[in-house]
């Protein structure tokens, strides 16, 4: 029955405007031009669209805000995703409140209080390890605020998510180095229990196999994505009898630490060893040498998650679980060159 009732999308199509405009024309008529308002009202009448009054009233009590849950607000990793969310929300006239969930891990009740207090229309989680108490609110069916995960750790269950294709990123790094003639390729990984480490390593190992290259376990340096981990890997690399001629670093930070520590030991990148990073943070193009790396679509991840959430809010249905996987891009710069033999 519900599926046959005219939807806001039908009104938008007939009126030739966005669903956001329909929503505004009906809920805050003073914010749209009179001609638009009239077109929308005519279309609503023609389609037989009825604003769900109880939902509308509920919505009217809300603040037009969504809550973003971030695992660690001190980590600049999340800044660009937040900027993307903010950009997309601004377009739809929705605002955001950001909550650091490090504290919330201890007190899920608190996050629930915030959701309640701010009458949030929805949630975007950059933190895949949310406590069940929060997840159960978000999945409690009609009336519950929709939740979108913009991270790799989407918890088991029926949640929509947006993430980057890390597996493919790992494969692209290796194919690039193999294409340059490198036959022994090392790898600096993230923490062992990290899903990013897992996906990037899986893609890399698959690509190595496809190139018929053997991966020497001595050429795997375990890190934690930090500058210091890269520097430690450089020390380990320096002590090897047989050094790989290229190294895939699973983060730009580790690549910088690696290159910098090698430079202090008079080993030059890319002349002595080629290096690929992962992330393409801003400084990558200005490092010396400029870093070949995989560009993560962070801002796009934020924007996609926000648009998915807006769609869930505006259609006001319980939509099917959606998963958007965004591609990473190989950016070739000065830190890699052809194997010299």
Residue range at the interface with a copy of itself (CB under 8 A); choices 14-22, 49-57, 98-106, 202-210: 98-106
Q: Which of 9, 13, 20, 95: binder of a copy of itself (CB under 8 A)?
A: 95
Residue range at the interface with a copy of itself (CB under 8 A); choices 19-27, 100-108, 201-209, 237-245: 100-108
Token pair in block for residue 247: 């190294």
* Nearest alpha carbon to residue 277 among 234, 237, 222, 335: 335
Q: Which positions from 214 to 253 touch a copy of itself by CB under 8 A, shown as an x/- string?
A: -------------x---x---------------------x
18 binds a copy of itself (CB under 8 A): no
Residues written for the chain? 341
* Nearest alpha carbon to residue 336 among 281, 286, 287, 293: 293
Q: What is the DSSP string of 285-300?
A: GGSSSPPBEEEP-HHH
Q: Which of 170, 190, 244, 257: binder of a copy of itself (CB under 8 A)?
A: 257
Longest Cα–Cα distance of the chain, Å, equals: 78
Where in 46-65 is the site for a copy of itself (CB under 8 A)? 63, 65
Q: What is the DSSP string of 102-129?
A: HHHHH-HHHHHHHHHHTT-S-EEES-S-
86 binds a copy of itself (CB under 8 A): yes
Residue range at the interface with a copy of itself (CB under 8 A); choices 76-84, 124-132, 142-150, 182-190: 76-84
330 binds a copy of itself (CB under 8 A): no
Residue 176 beta carbon to a copy of itself: minimum distance, rounded to whole angstroms: 22
Q: Which of 114, 222, 236, 331: binder of a copy of itself (CB under 8 A)?
A: 114
* Nearest alpha carbon to residue 16 among 42, 54, 52: 42
Q: Name which of 32 and 259 has its Cβ closer to a copy of itself.
A: 259
Q: Name which of 110 and 180 has its Cβ closer to a copy of itself.
A: 110
133 binds a copy of itself (CB under 8 A): no
98 binds a copy of itself (CB under 8 A): yes
Residues 6+ apart with CB under 8 A from 227: 253, 254, 256, 257, 260
Integer Cα distance of 297 and 293 in angstroms: 13
Q: Name which of 43 and 94 has its Cβ closer to a copy of itself.
A: 94
76 binds a copy of itself (CB under 8 A): yes
* Kind and range of the H or E run holding 12: helix 8-15
74 binds a copy of itself (CB under 8 A): yes
Token pair in block for residue 154: 């989407």
Strand order in the sheet with 246-249: 220-222, 185-189, 246-249, 274-276
Buried b (16+ CB within 10 A) or exposed e, 180-204: bebebbbbbbbeeebbbbbbbbebb
Residue range at the interface with a copy of itself (CB under 8 A); choices 159-167, 211-219, 239-247, 257-265: 257-265
Token pair in block for residue 300: 């796009």
Q: Name which of 72 and 323 has its Cβ closer to a copy of itself.
A: 72
Q: Return residues touching a copy of itself (CB under 8 A).
A: 63, 65, 72-76, 79-80, 82-84, 86, 90, 95-100, 102-103, 107, 110, 113-114, 117-119, 227, 231, 253, 256-257, 259-260, 263, 282-283, 285-288, 290
């Amino acid at each position: 029955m519900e599926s046959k009732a005219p939807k806001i999308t039908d009104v938008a199509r007939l009126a030739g405007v966005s669903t956001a405009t329909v929503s505004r024309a009906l809920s805050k008529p003073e914010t749209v031009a009179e001609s638009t308002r009239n077109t929308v009202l005519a279309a609503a009448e023609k389609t037989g669209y009825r604003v769900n009054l109880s939902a509308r009233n509920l919505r009217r009590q809300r603040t037009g805000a969504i809550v973003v849950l971030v695992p660690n607000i001190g980590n600049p990793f999340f800044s660009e995703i937040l900027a993307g969310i903010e950009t997309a929300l601004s377009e739809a006239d929705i605002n955001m409140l950001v909550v650091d969930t490090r504290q919330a891990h201890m007190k899920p009740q608190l996050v629930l209080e915030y959701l309640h207090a701010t009458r949030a229309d929805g949630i975007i989680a950059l933190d895949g390890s949310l406590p069940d108490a929060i997840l159960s609110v978000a999945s409690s069916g009609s009336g519950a605020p929709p939740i979108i995960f913009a991270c790799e750790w989407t918890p088991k269950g029926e949640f929509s998510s947006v993430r980057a294709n890390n597996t493919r990123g790992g494969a692209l790094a290796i194919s690039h180095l193999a294409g340059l003639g490198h036959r022994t390729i090392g790898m600096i990984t993230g923490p062992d229990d990290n899903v990013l480490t897992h996906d990037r390593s899986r893609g890399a190992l698959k690509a190595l196999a496809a190139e018929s290259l053997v991966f020497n376990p001595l050429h795997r340096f375990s890190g934690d994505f930090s500058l210091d981990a890269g520097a430690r890997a450089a020390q380990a690399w320096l002590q090897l009898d047989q050094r790989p001629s290229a190294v895939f670093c699973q983060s730009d930070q580790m690549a910088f630490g690696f290159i910098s520590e090698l430079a202090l030991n008079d080993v030059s990148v890319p002349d002595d060893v080629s290096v690929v990073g992962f992330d393409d943070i801003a400084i990558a193009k200005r490092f010396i040498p400029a870093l070949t790396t995989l560009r993560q679509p962070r801002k796009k991840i934020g924007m996609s998650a926000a648009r998915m959430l807006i769609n869930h809010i505006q259609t006001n249905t319980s939509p099917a679980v959606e998963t958007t996987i965004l591609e990473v891009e190989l950016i070739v710069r000065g830190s890699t060159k052809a194997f010299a033999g």
